[in-house]
Amino acid sequence: MSERVEVGTSQEVPPSEWGRRQPLGSFSPWVFVLVLGLLLLGRLVFTPYLTAPALQAWATIFVAICVQALPFLAFGVLLSAAITAFVPASFWTRALPRRPFLAVPVAGAAGAVLPGCECASVPVASGLMSRGVTPAAALAFLLASPAINPVVVVATVVAFPGEPMMAVARFGASLAVAVVAGWVWLRFGRADWLRIPSRPVGDGPRWRSFVEAMRHDFLHAGGFLVVGGATAATMNVVVPRSWLESVAGIPVVSVLTLALLAVILSICSEADAFVAASMTAFSPTAKLAFLVVGPMVDLKLIALQTGTFGRRFAARFIPLTFVLAVVVSMAAGEVLL
């Protein structure tokens, strides 16, 4: 703030936009030096006092979420940057059906190919959109991919020994939610709700735009991932699990409870089946809701989607997905489990 005031008083000619930029530009490296100094000083001075069990548990979970998501995020960002830099836009128009109505299910099913969790799919979906893929189709991919890829399906089978229908139901319900959400967006979604990240492509060598895209996406998505991780860690430490038991027996409430828990805990989609399996008191339908909602809506994803596609998008798309996921898993649970 003070920086700007100072600049404001020191300028003589009415400044252009650019004149104002210079001081701030050289300002942030000093903030960085300050950060570094705090780190070194803090390690000597504060570390002995930062030992409250609750704080340590929070920090462990927070760091765990960030560290665990990092490889997936780096992979997703790499893939997304490769899509923008090396795959010509014409490829997507040929690969996907011309009619958006058909492109949605095809893109959703294509989610089965990307073996990652939800952190990887957001940058990839945004990369697809910036290369001209219909937003609704990219969104179907975004929702389906973390839930139906082979790694997650195998994890689900392993976590529920003797209950193969759980993996089947999860696959079917997740794909259905993704496709329906894509169609709903296609029919009712408005272009100005969605901020499609445009990428500077073309000028300069390809590897350069590749590195640029990766760097931008990583810093951007990474920052929002930290927001999501911090919120999820807080919920994890603050919300007692004991109240879960009290609602486990009530039909619809138990489903909603586990759906909300999936949002709060923000567990990686490759691990959530194990957590669901450990909640023995709940009905299979409630566990299915946990598995369907988790990879599509959770605090980590809300932060990532808001950051990538904008607040107006997130405010509409996330509730839509949540409601669809709960309804579809109830129906699938009724039929299959």
Partner 1 sequence: MNRLTQSMVLVLLGGAVLRITTVSTTYLNYVKPGFRPFLIAAGVVVVALGVIGLVQEWRGSTEPGDHDDHDDHDDHDGHDHAHAPRVAWLLTLPVFAIFLVAPPALGAFSARSEEAPARPVAAAESYDTLSAGQVNEMTIGEFVGRAWGEADSLAGRQVRLTGFSVPSAKKKDRWYLARIQIACCAADGVALKVAVLDAEMPPENTWVEVVGTWKRPPSGELEPGTVAPELNVTSITPIPQPVEPYE
| Closer residue to partner 1, CB minimum distance, 185 or 224 | 224
CB-CB contact of 120 with 141 (8 Å): no
CB-CB contact of 157 with 116 (8 Å): no
Return the residues of window 229-268 that contact partner 1 according to CB under 8 A: 229-230, 232-233, 236-237, 240-242, 245, 265-268
Return the residues of window 98-117 that contact partner 1 according to CB under 8 A: none
| Closer residue to partner 1, CB minimum distance, 20 or 316 | 20
Select from 7, 15, 59, 323 the one that contacts partner 1 (CB under 8 A).
59
Cα separation, 313 vs 122, whole angstroms: 13
| Closer residue to partner 1, CB minimum distance, 134 or 269 | 269
Does the footprint of partner 1 cover residue 65 (CB under 8 A)?
A: yes
Question: What's the token pair of residue 76?
Answer: 């997703």
Angle, helices 135-148/164-188, rounded to nearest 10 degrees = 170
Select from 87, 168, 256, 277 the one that contacts partner 1 (CB under 8 A).
277
Cα separation, 184 vs 245, whole angstroms: 35
Binding mask 113-152 for partner 1 (x = CB under 8 A): ----------------------------------------
| Closer residue to partner 1, CB minimum distance, 30 or 94 | 30
Angle at 274 between CA 268 and CA 279, to 5 degrees: 115
Task: Extract long-range pairs of 156-164: CB within 8 Å, 24+ residues apart.
Answer: 156/273, 156/291, 158/273, 159/273, 159/274, 159/276, 159/277, 160/273, 160/277, 163/284
Return the residues of window 154-183 that contact partner 1 according to CB under 8 A: 155, 158-159, 161-162
Cα separation, 76 vs 116, whole angstroms: 8
* Residue where the block lists tokens 């689900």: 156
| Closer residue to partner 1, CB minimum distance, 97 or 284 | 284
Return the residues of window 303-322 that contact partner 1 according to CB under 8 A: 307, 310-312
Return the residues of window 205-224 that contact partner 1 according to CB under 8 A: 208, 211-212, 214-216, 218-220, 222-224
| Closer residue to partner 1, CB minimum distance, 78 or 184 | 78
CB-CB contact of 133 with 142 (8 Å): no
Residues near partner 1 (CB under 8 A), total: 95
Cα separation, 200 vs 186, whole angstroms: 26
Return the residues of window 4-43 that contact partner 1 according to CB under 8 A: 17-18, 20-21, 24-26, 28-29, 31-32, 35-36, 38-39, 42-43
Q: Of 73-81, 99-107, 168-176, 321-329, which part binds partner 1 (CB under 8 A)?
A: 73-81
Least Cβ distance, residue 216 to partner 1 (angstroms): 6
